[in-house]
């Protein structure tokens, strides 16, 4: 039973990260395809990842009591 719950939580987390990635890419005017995005430049991929981290840190800072 623990594996099923863990799997569901992991799947939910991955889905939320994918949604954040799509939102960030859109705000940076970078087109993402579903699945692999090997055609992205290193700069584009780094911009997406960096902005994701920035937003996650801001979220954590706002929600820590």
Identify whether 10 is part of a domain.
no
Higher pLDDT, 37 or 2: 37
Number of domains into which the chain is organized: 1
The confidence band for 7, taking pLDDT boundaries of 50, 70 and 90, is: confident
Residue 40 pLDDT: 93
State residue 2's pLDDT score: 53
Q: Provide the CA 39 distance to its chain's centre, in angstroms.
A: 18
- Has residue 61 been placed in a domain? yes
In a domain, 7, yes or no: no
Residue 12 domain-assigned (yes or no) = no
- Its domain, for residue 27, covers 20-65
pLDDT band at 3 (very low <50, low <70, confident <90, very high): low
pLDDT 10s digits, 13-62: 999 999 999 999 999 999 998 778 889 999 999 999 999 999 999 999 99
């Amino acid at each position: 039973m623990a594996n099923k719950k863990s799997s569901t939580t992991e799947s939910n987390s991955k889905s939320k990260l994918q949604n954040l990635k799509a939102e960030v890419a859109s705000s940076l005017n970078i087109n993402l395809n579903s699945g692999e995005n090997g055609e992205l430049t290193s700069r584009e991929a780094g911009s997406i990842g960096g902005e994701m981290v920035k937003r996650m840190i801001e979220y954590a800072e706002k929600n820590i009591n």
